[in-house]
Every structure is written in C-alpha cells, then in structure tokens.
C-alpha cells in the first residue's frame, strides 16, 4: 500500500541518518516485516523504481564504527562549551585561532575517478581501467590554517633513512615557494619532527601577529603532538592546545571537513594530467611529488575556503549549532517509543484493523480516513521496530554467549 511504503521510506531515512543505510537484503527484510509476508527480490527493485526521488543506490564509503559510536550530541556540546569558553577567557579571536593536522600521500596513486571509455573497447574487455603509476612511496604533509583565512607554509616529510636528497626538491624555488622539508624512515611524523614543526614553522609564522596575545592551536590526539616537550613549549609561548574528542575530526576539524578533500582531488588531477601527457610511460617518483603537490596546495588553500572551514565546524564565528544542528534532525527514540515495539504479537494489528472496519460505518468521512491512515502508520512502524528489536536481541544474546564462554575459560585457568 502507498501509505505503508511512505512509512518505510521514512524509516530508511532514519537508518541512513544513523549511519546504517540498508542493503538490498535488509530492505527485503524491512518489506517482509511491513507486509507480514515474504517479499521477493523483484519487489526490492520495483520499490526503488517507484521512489526515485526519495531513494538512491550508491557504493557506501564507510565510517569507522568507533567514529559512529562517538558521534553523540552531548560529547560535542561539552567540546564546544570548553572551546568557546577558553577562547573568550583568553581573548582569542580568528587571527590567533589555528588548526593543524597531518595528511599522507602515496606519491603515484590517485583517487578513483569516473572516466569516459570507448564503448567498443570497454565491452571487448581490451581496456576496462585507466593506467595509474602505482608508486606507493609515502609523503606526509603537516598542514596548518588560521581562522582569519591564511595557511602556514606546508611541511613535507619524505620517506627515507639517509636525509633529504636534493633531487626531491629540485622543483622548489626559494623565491616562489615557502615549504619545509624533512624525512623519516616511515614517512610519518614523530616526536622530534612534531616539536621541530612547532618551533620552526608555527612559532616562526604566528608569533609576530600574536605579539603577546594567546594563540589557540587545535589538533588531534596524535602522540607526536602531546609530548611533554611539545606542551611545555606551548605553555612557555602562550599557545593554548585544544585536542579534539576521540573519533570526531570528521565532524569537528576544519582541515578534515572542508580542505583535505579538495586537496586530494587537485593532487589527483595533477597526477592524471601527468599520466595523460606521458601516456603512462614515465614513472612518478619522490622527485616528481613536489611539482604535483604545490599546484594542488595553491589551488586549495585559498582565503575563502579556509574561512569557510572554520565556519562549517563552528569554531569561528563561535557557533556550535553549525555542527549540533544535525543532531536536532535525528532525535534518539525515547524509551516509551521503543516500548511500543514490544507490545502485542503479529496478530495484534490485523485485529485492530478488523475492529476499526467494524466500528466505522462510513469510511469515506475525512475523520475516518485520518484514523485509518494513522492506524496504517502505527502498524508499519510497529512492525519495523519489532524487526529491529528482534535483531538487537539476537546480537545481545550472541554477545552474552561469548562473554559466558570467556568467563568460563578464565575461571578454569584460575582453578588450575
């Protein structure tokens, strides 16, 4: 029935907001629960085609489970309360508010992109993918941006054990480019490089503007950012360090939310153009990285986009609702709502329908139609809740069994 399908669409919207949009098989289970009868695979296809404006099929990109569990409004409220209260207490405005983070690059690997193939060649299976270099050598970027719209010079950490080689930076022009270059065995930052960045990049390029005012540096909880030497230096230089809550940078960090995605896109475009020019015959190495990185960096780190990144994450202007408003559209079900799904058995709702049909003589009246629609809506939601609760109970029982086995093993080991 159309009304039942409308309720199912609303339910799918809710599960999507919760981070668990249904697969085809799960949607089939939803439909069977609502219909109280097994629906076919073809029903799923027809259902999708009947609602092209409400439903779309996409490959999911995935979100880490820990990030999902950490995504709760109260945690974010506490973060913003602390952040904004400290900014007000120390008189910190956009000119002295910074976000720093790391981003890794595989030298020769671009992100997936849609391409236009010759249909004949593609169907013949002669060529179904584009050439890519595939060099997996690693370079880490240390990026830092200011809420007033400026980016500090980037710092690049190349993977290597024998120092920075001149060939890596042949394309670096001192009169045009401001960039810091170092190396590590892994290509990642470490405690020494984190402190060196703080002293040689952050302090050097922000102290004059701040004078003796406090500066705010917001970053994730990476170990190289939270060493005693790092924190002591910050305290001595009137730099207040703010650390994001665990698993929240995808929502709270300006660099993550707004800037790193277009940076990756621009870098991919540079690699793609290089491969197009050379027909894939010239290998991309660490010597080539900077010539592709710098145009991507320059295209991304614009004043307007940097300002937007701090606005979108509620940092500056100080507006927590920029982030918290998305929770307002996804209220958690209250205990009394969950209880509704526990009442009655599978025959309850058909019984209510028969009672309604017998009691209401003129079903064409507006009031009767509204009551009927309300009954349909409650029935659909109840069946979906029953299915959801049954699945949760099954998962809880499985966890209990595992915990019981674990406890038994521990007890036996203790007795021996």
Q: SS3 for 91? A: coil
The DSSP annotation for 117-129 comes to --HHHHHTTS--S
pLDDT at 407 over 80: no
Q: In what order do the strands lie in the sheet with 138-146?
A: 180-184, 155-159, 138-146, 97-106, 215-219, 239-243
- Highest-pLDDT range among 13-17, 87-91, 339-343, 347-351: 87-91
Residue that wins the pLDDT comparison between 44 and 216: 216
Helices marked H in 201-340 — which ranges? 203-210, 228-236, 249-252, 254, 260-278, 286-300, 303-312, 321-328, 335-340
Largest CA distance in the chain: 90
Nearest to 94 by CA among 102, 81, 79, 84: 84
The length of the chain, given as a count of residues:
416
Distance, CA of 384 to CA of 378 (rounded, Å): 10
Of 63-67, 104-108, 126-130, 173-177, the one with minimum mean pLDDT is: 126-130
Measured in degrees and rounded to the nearest 5, phi and psi for residue 145 equal: -130, 155
Residue that wins the pLDDT comparison between 18 and 135: 18
Residue 96 near residue 215 (C-beta atoms within 8 A): yes
| Structure tokens, 323 | 């982030």
Distance, CA of 72 to CA of 28 (rounded, Å): 29
pLDDT at 357 over 80: no
Residue that wins the pLDDT comparison between 55 and 163: 55
Q: Could you read off the pLDDT of 56-85 as tens digits, one per residue?
A: 887 655 555 555 555 578 888 989 999 999
pLDDT at 285 over 80: no
pLDDT at 43 over 60: yes
Interhelix angle 2-17/366-415, nearest 10 degrees: 40
Nearest to 253 by CA among 67, 48, 13: 67
pLDDT band at 414 (very low <50, low <70, confident <90, very high): very low
Q: What is the dihedral of CA 140, 142, 145, 150, to 10 degrees?
A: -90
Residue 349 near residue 379 (C-beta atoms within 8 A): yes
Question: What's the confidence (pLDDT) of residue 269?
Answer: 83
Question: What's the confidence (pLDDT) of residue 222?
Answer: 76
- What mean pLDDT, rounded, does the chain reach? 74
Of 25-29, 69-73, 243-247, the one with minimum mean pLDDT is: 69-73
% the chain with pLDDT above 70: 59
- Highest-pLDDT range among 43-57, 129-143, 237-251: 237-251
% the chain with pLDDT above 90: 31
Question: What's the confidence (pLDDT) of residue 51?
Answer: 86
308-324: average pLDDT: 97
- Residue 340 sits at the vertex; the CA angle it makes with 334 and 342, to the nearest 5 degrees, is 115
- Highest-pLDDT range among 14-23, 123-132, 213-222, 359-368: 213-222
Distance, CA of 227 to CA of 232 (rounded, Å): 9
Sign, CA dihedral 25-29-31-36, equals positive
Query: Whose structure tokens read 């900077």?
Result: 290
Residues 6+ apart with CB under 8 A from 153: 178, 179, 180, 201, 205
Nearest to 16 by CA among 58, 50, 72, 75: 58
Helices marked H in 109-259 — which ranges? 119-123, 191-197, 203-210, 228-236, 249-252, 254
- Highest-pLDDT range among 29-43, 169-183, 243-257: 243-257
pLDDT at 282 over 70: no
Sign, CA dihedral 164-167-172-175, equals positive
């Amino acid at each position: 029935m159309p009304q039942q399908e409308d309720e199912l669409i609303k339910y799918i919207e809710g599960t999507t907001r919760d981070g668990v949009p249904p697969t085809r098989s799960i949607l089939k289970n939803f439909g069977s629960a609502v219909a109280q009868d097994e629906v076919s695979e073809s029903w799923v296809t027809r259902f999708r085609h009947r609602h092209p404006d409400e439903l779309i099929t996409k490959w999911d990109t995935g979100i880490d489970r820990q990030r999902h569990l950490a995504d709760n409004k109260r945690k974010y409220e506490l973060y913003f309360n602390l952040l904004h209260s400290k900014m007000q207490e120390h008189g910190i405005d956009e000119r002295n508010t910074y976000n720093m983070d790391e981003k890794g690059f595989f030298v020769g690997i671009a992100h997936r992109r849609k391409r236009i193939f010759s249909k004949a060649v593609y169907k013949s299976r002669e060529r179904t993918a584009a050439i890519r270099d595939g060099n997996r050598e690693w370079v880490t970027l240390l990026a830092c941006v200011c809420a007033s719209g400026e980016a500090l010079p980037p710092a690049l950490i190349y993977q290597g054990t024998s120092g920075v080689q001149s060939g890596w930076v042949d394309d670096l022009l001192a009169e045009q480019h401001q960039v810091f270059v170092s190396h590590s065995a892994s290509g990642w930052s470490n405690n020494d490089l984190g402190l060196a960045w703080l002293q040689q990049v952050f302090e050097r390029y922000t102290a004059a503007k701040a004078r003796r005012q406090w500066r705010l540096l917001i970053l994730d909880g990476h170990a190289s950012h939270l060493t005693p030497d790092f924190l002591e230096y910050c305290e001595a230089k009137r730099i207040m360090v703010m650390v994001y809550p665990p698993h929240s940078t995808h929502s709270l960090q300006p660099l993550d939310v707004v800037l790193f995605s277009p940076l990756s896109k621009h870098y991919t475009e540079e690699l793609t153009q290089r491969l197009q020019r050379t027909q894939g015959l010239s290998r991309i190495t660490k010597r080539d990285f900077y010539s592709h990185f710098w145009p991507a960096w320059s295209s991304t780190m614009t004043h307007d986009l940097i300002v937007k990144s701090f606005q979108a994450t509620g940092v500056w202007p100080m507006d927590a609702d920029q982030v918290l408003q998305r929770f307002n559209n996804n209220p958690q079900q209250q205990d009394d709502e969950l209880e509704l799904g526990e009442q009655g058995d599978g025959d309850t709702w058909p019984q209510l329908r028969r009672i309604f049909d017998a009691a209401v003589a003129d079903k064409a009246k507006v009031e009767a139609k509204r009551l009927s629609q309300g009954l349909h809506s409650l029935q659909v939601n109840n069946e979906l809740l029953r299915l959801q609760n049954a699945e949760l109970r099954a998962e809880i029982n499985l966890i209990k069994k595992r915990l019981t086995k674990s406890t038994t093993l521990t007890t036996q080991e203790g007795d021996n």
